[in-house]
A and B are shown apart, each in its own frame.
Chain A
Amino acid sequence: MRVSALTRRLAVIFMGLALVFLYAPILTNFVFSLNSDRFPTIPLGGFTLEWYRLILADALVIDAFKNTIKIALIVAPIATAMGFAAAYADYRFNFIGKRLVLIFALMPPLIPLVVIGLAMLAYLSRIGLSGTLPAIVVSHIVLTSPFAMAIIRLRFSQIDGDLEFAAQNLGASNWRAFWEVIIPATKTSILAAFLLCMAVSFDEYAVTWFVGGLEETSSVRILSFLQSAVSPRINAIGSITFITSITLILGAQILVLRRLTRGNS
């Protein structure tokens, strides 16, 4: 758009301020996790690793982190595989009601988490699963697979639809064409989806809190800490969760963006 340099500059500055606003709570969390004062405010106290030492000595926190990792490592492969299958089916086949299935598959992240939590809790306690780790796994797959499908579908939309058929015309079977054409073309997006699913599973607290009963993940542990009192221990756990999810998301983004820019050139 042809607008004055001043307007451009103002808009870009405003955008920068919005970024500062979004990152401020993340940055202060790191600062206060290393600050010796019990009450987090300015001016800062001294440097300490005390809060990290406290949470690492807390059996509840350690168990919660173990659960989180276990759950994410089961959820991510299953959700990615199912998201991939749905994205591939949408790219490759035509069937009646395909659009409806797609919209249905994108629904879970749009329903309020408390509502899904209640519905899942009632349903899973009917089949005797509520209050167990499998209950958390089952619901996390519902919540993460739409993201996997979306991110892999994005990649399929750049692949020439005739490539696979060309391979088949050259004598390759369905499966051979799949392994030699589809998998190499989509493997980075599959990895990106995997990382994204892990990140979403890692940070989910509402549904987990409802269906998990006494089983806690690190996010639910944070929720319990929040319900009791302000404590720099929350900052310490918070820093660990931030570092983990930021690493996963940046990884996913780099994979997707590299593909996109290479796809354009």
Chain B
Amino acid sequence: MGQMSKDMTSSLSTRRLSRLAYGGIWSLPLPLWLAAFFLGPMILLIWLSFWDVKNFLLTPDFQLENWQKMLTAPYFWAAYLRTFVIAISAAALVSLIALPCSLAISFFLSVRARMVMLGLFVVPFFTSYLVRVYSWQIYLTENGIVMKLLAAIGIDSGSLLNTPLALMIGLVTLTLPLVIVIQSISMLSLDKTLIDAAYNLGCGPRRVLFATVLPAVRPGIVLGALFAFIFSFGDFVTATYLGGGKFTTMSILIADTVKSGQQWPRAAVVALMMIATLLITALASIAYAYRRT
């Protein structure tokens, strides 16, 4: 009897052990990899911002000089403000452009056409943004396609490159697919009876849109704008190749600092300020998106 119960408990514990091993095999690899090669680098980035550069050599240290230098430099705050304004304008513009598209996809198309359209919008998102920016250079440059087309109808435009318009064209190219997908998902999950109820209560189409549909899909609209902001805020290709170096953004500050010398600690300060800004913006937007009215 005693022997039997001992056997049972030991077989029970081996079974528990094997179940634990089975669970571990699946749940651990990705978190471990990300801890080693994502969290690790991010933590080092924080430490790096306190390091010293002596005789062109990075030296682990704990000093506040990098933070002091950067946070009192006017060019840092100019870049910060510029990046923020560019990203927020892009987020607003892209959301406005995406809205009619998402409405069309969600409400005015058949199921089949809807799937095809969403698929078509997603494809460019995963194609080389670098090459697409180069194409926009070709369109917008001196004597480029757009200038010649405008000249043909009698408008003398000059080069459109290195203007705020060029920046916005680039950032819309970058983020529009993502925003349309996010907005459409939230519109498609909208309870259709809500719309019918509004009609039955005598609302006109405009009132249904502005008083029923848009408030109900607010989370999708806010999250879409948030994603557009995040991607525009972090991008360095647009400002470099469509802004022609006239618009120094935070990302350009980092890239230039790293590629031209040893001042990695100062670049780390810029990077951490970017992450802090994105984190605060994300939390604020999510709180606003899901706020009860």
Contact = CB atoms under 8 A, between A and B. Distances in A.
Of the listed residues B34, B39, B233, the one surrounded by the most CB atoms of chain A closer than 10 A to its CB is B34
A196 interface: yes
Given A22-B173, A115-B274, A115-B275, A105 B258 contact: no
Interface in B99-150: 100-101, 103-105, 107-109, 115, 117, 119-124, 126-139, 141, 143-145, 148-149
User: Chain A's interface: helix, strand, loop or mixed, by majority?
Assistant: helix
Contacts of A205: 128, 130
A105 B31 contact: yes
Contacts of A39: 143
A117 B259 CA distance: 11
A3 B106 CA distance: 13
Interface residues of B, number: 88
A28 interface: yes
Contact of B136 (A25, A108, A141, A199): A25
Contact of A219 (B130, B176, B255): B130
A122 B234 contact: no
Q: Which of B124, B128, B255 has the most CB of A within 10 A?
A: B128
B254 interface: yes
B59 to A, nearest CB: 13
A80 B255 CA distance: 30
Contacts, number: 254
A238 B29 contact: no
Interface residues of A, number: 91
B40 A123 contact: yes
A88 B40 CA distance: 25
B215 interface: no
B77 to A, nearest CB: 18
B251 A222 contact: no
Given A11-B104, A25-B173, A118-B267, A145 B205 contact: no
Contact of A116 (B41, B108, B172): B41
Interface stretch (A46-54, A55-63, A239-247): A239-247
**B interface secondary structure, majority:** helix
Interface in A199-223: 199-200, 203, 205-206, 210, 219, 222-223
B27 A86 contact: yes
A85 B258 CA distance: 36
Top 9 A-B pairs, shortest CB-CB distance = A112-B234, A25-B135, A89-B27, A238-B131, A119-B41, A123-B41, A11-B104, A86-B30, A119-B45
Given A28-B139, A93-B23, 11 more contacts: A12-B109, A19-B121, A86-B27, A105-B31, A112-B234, A119-B42, A124-B41, A142-B38, A205-B130, A230-B141, A238-B134
30 contacts: A1-B208, A7-B205, A8-B108, A10-B100, A11-B101, A14-B101, A15-B105, A29-B131, A32-B138, A39-B143, A41-B144, A81-B29, A85-B25, A89-B23, A101-B31, A104-B31, A104-B34, A105-B34, A111-B42, A111-B275, A112-B233, A112-B278, A115-B271, A119-B42, A120-B41, A124-B41, A199-B126, A230-B138, A241-B128, A249-B127
Interface of B: 18-19, 22-23, 25-27, 29-31, 33-34, 37-42, 44-45, 48, 97-98, 100-101, 103-105, 107-109, 115, 117, 119-124, 126-139, 141, 143-145, 148-149, 172-173, 176-177, 180, 195, 199, 205, 208-209, 213, 230, 233-237, 241, 251, 254-255, 258, 264, 267-268, 271, 274-275, 278
Interface of A: 1-4, 7-8, 10-12, 14-15, 18-19, 21-26, 28-29, 32, 39-42, 81-83, 85-86, 88-89, 92-93, 95, 101, 104-105, 107-108, 110-124, 126, 138-139, 141-142, 145, 149, 174-175, 196, 199-200, 203, 205-206, 210, 219, 222-223, 226, 230, 234-235, 237-238, 241-242, 245-246, 248-250, 253, 257, 261
